[in-house]
Amino acid sequence: MQIGPYTIDPPLVLAPMAGVTDKPFRQLCKRLGAGLAVSEMTASDPQLWGTRKSRLRMDHAGEPAPVSVQIAGYDPAMMAAAARYNVDHGAQLIDINMGCPAKKVCKVDAGSALLRDEALVGAILDAVVRAVDVPVTLKIRTGYTRARRNGVAIARLAESAGIAALAVHGRTREDLYEGAAEYDTIAAIKAAVRIPVAANGDITTPQKAREVLARTGADALLIGRGAQGRPWIFREIAHFLATGTLLPEPSPSEVGRILLGHLEALYAFYGEQHGVRIARKHLGWYAKDRPENAAFRAVVNGVVTAEEQRRMTRVYFDGLAAPMSRAA
C-alpha cells in the first residue's frame, strides 16, 4: 500500500487504540512484522498538549519511519492546529479519528459521532489536509447507525478532500464492538474510491486476514484487538499471505522472551511505578487462553515492583515451557 511517498510493506497496520498502542507496543509490533503502527489518539485541544499523558503520546523518538499520529476532535480549526503541532513534533503521517465509538469521545461530538454530520466531516478533512504538507489518512466506521451506513459518502468526501488513505472498521458506531464485523460496506467503499483502503474488524488469524482481503478487495488490513497479547500476528499474517502456509505458534519460551522485552520497554518509557501498572493489562492479554492464566493474573496484578513482575513472568512462562522441553 502506498501512502504518499511511503510504501507500507507488508500492508498490515497496527490500529490506533487508546491506552494500548503506546510507543513500546508500536515498536514491538513493527519489529514483529507490522508495516505501519499508528499512535494512540491525541487530543486536538491545545490545553491538553502539555499534560504528561499527551507528552508521552507525542514522543516518537527512535521510531522507524513513517511516524503516524492520530488526532481526535470536532473543530476544524483546532484539528488543523493539532495536525501542524504534531508534524512539528515528528509526525510524518496524520491520521484523523472518525472511528472511535467510546461514549466519552462521542459525547463531545468527536470520533465516530462525526459520521452524523457529513458537512462537518468535509470541513475537518479540508482544514487538516490544507494545514500540513504530509499525507493525511482517515479512520472511519461504516456509519453511525445500522439504518444509515453512509461510509461510501464519507469515503467520497475523503477522496475529494485529498485524504491519502482510508481505514474502515466493519461496524457502525451503534454496534460498538458487538456482533460480527460486516465487510460488504467496506467492499462498496473500496469500489467507490481510488485511494487506498484498509479493512478493519475481527481480524484475529491469518486465515481471517486472507478472507477479509478477498471479500473487500482492500489494499491493506488494519489490526487492533487481534494484536493484543499477540504482537507476532503481523508476521504470521504476512507469511501466510505470501506462502499460503502457517508459521508454527511461538513457543512459551519465545512468548516469555517477547513479553519480558515488552516489560523492559514499558519500564523505560513510563518509569517503574507507572510501567508496572501499564504492564498488567498486557500480561493478562499474553496469558489469555494459556494454562493457569487466571491464577497468574490474580497474583501478578498485585505486584508493585518491576523486579517482582519480571520474576513472576519468568516463572510462569518457564513453567509453561518445561513440559514441552521434557516432551522434546
In this structure, are residues 110 and 84 in contact, taking their beta carbons and an 8 Å threshold? Answer: no
3-class SS of residue 251: coil
In sign, the C-alpha dihedral spanning 121, 126, 127, 132 is positive
Strand partners, 223: 14
Helix (H) or strand (E) holding 9: none
3-class SS of residue 317: helix
Between CA 151 and CA 144 the distance in angstroms is 9
Taking alpha carbons only, the member of 244, 210, 229 closest to residue 317 is 229
DSSP at 167: E
Candidates 3, 100, 115, 163; catalytic one: 100
**Grid coordinates belonging to 211:** 478472507
In this structure, are residues 76 and 127 in contact, taking their beta carbons and an 8 Å threshold? Answer: yes
Taking alpha carbons only, the member of 289, 261, 210, 293 closest to residue 10 is 210
**Grid coordinates belonging to 31:** 519489529
Between CA 186 and CA 171 the distance in angstroms is 10
Number of alpha carbons in the 13 Å side-chain half-sphere of residue 201: 30
Known catalytic membership, residue 106: no
Question: Active-site positions?
Answer: 100
